[in-house]
Amino acid sequence: MRGIYTNILHAIGDTPLVQLNKVVGRHDARVLAKLEYMNPGASVKDRMALHIIEEAERQGVLKPGGVIVENTSGNTGVGVAMAAAVKGYRCVFTMPDKMSQEKVNRLKAFGAEVVVTPTAVPADHPDSYYETAKRIHRETPGSFMLNQYHNKLNIDAHYR
């Protein structure tokens, strides 16, 4: 245990590195595995979600009591929902109908609203989970869309 954290968000990051001794020979390169599943949401996406949310707060595009909108198939949504629950934001996620009910329930357990959309439509179709999230964002005054697939802060979070 690294200490007592004042909230779950402080437990994100600083995941352990473990040397893999059986993957390479004694005289080969040292190979390390980063155990990102040890983040509180069980994914590296916790880092990215928190990083983007905190940068949006710094830039003033996400304000107290705001709404975060995002399309997700699971792990990013968990990271966002967890951060939003701690920070007091409302979350609306769009998710394709091929995702398990357990994934939907996990997001809802954090207080998120989940809009399930059809899987069998092209990405640019108005009913896709991408386009539905964009529409909800446009129709929700003061909302912030994380935009995980096209947000440069996603890359920045993994680099950091």
Instruction: Note whether 27 and 90 are same-domain residues.
Output: no
Query: Mean of the pLDDT values across residues 73-95?
Result: 96
Give Cα separations from 89 to 3, 57, 63, 65, 140 (angstroms): 27, 11, 9, 5, 13
Q: Identify whether 132 is part of a domain.
A: yes
Q: Which among 45, 87, 98, 152 is annotated as catalytic?
A: 45
pLDDT value at residue 36: 93
Report the C-alpha gap between 150 and 147 in whole angstroms. Answer: 6
Among the residue ranges 11-15, 41-45, 114-118, 155-159, the one predicted with the least confidence is 155-159
In a domain, 1, yes or no: no
Judge if 51 and 16 occupy the same domain.
no
Q: How far apart are CA 52 and CA 63, in angstroms?
A: 13
Model pLDDT, residue 155: 86
Regarding whether 155 and 112 lie in a shared domain, the answer is yes
- Tell whether 135 and 92 lie within a shared domain: yes
Whether 61 and 23 map to the same domain: the answer is no
With a cut of 90, say whether residue 85 has pLDDT above it.
yes
What's this model's pTM, rounded to 2 decimal places?
Answer: 0.91
CA distances 132 to 30, 62, 89, 104, 128, Å, are 45, 20, 20, 16, 6
**Domain co-membership, 24 together with 97:** no
Task: Give, in order, the Cα–Cα distances in Å from 109 to each of 31, 77, 91, 115.
Answer: 37, 12, 12, 14
> For the domain that residue 115 is a member of, what is the CATH number?
3.40.50.1100
Beta-bridge mates of residue 69: 92, 145
Residue-range definition of the domain harbouring residue 134:
45-159
13-24 average pLDDT score: 91
pLDDT digits (tens, 9 = 90+) for 31-80: 999 999 999 999 999 999 999 999 999 999 999 999 999 999 889 999 99
Q: Tell me whether residue 45 is one of the annotated catalytic residues.
A: yes
Number of domains in the chain: 2
20 in a structural domain: yes
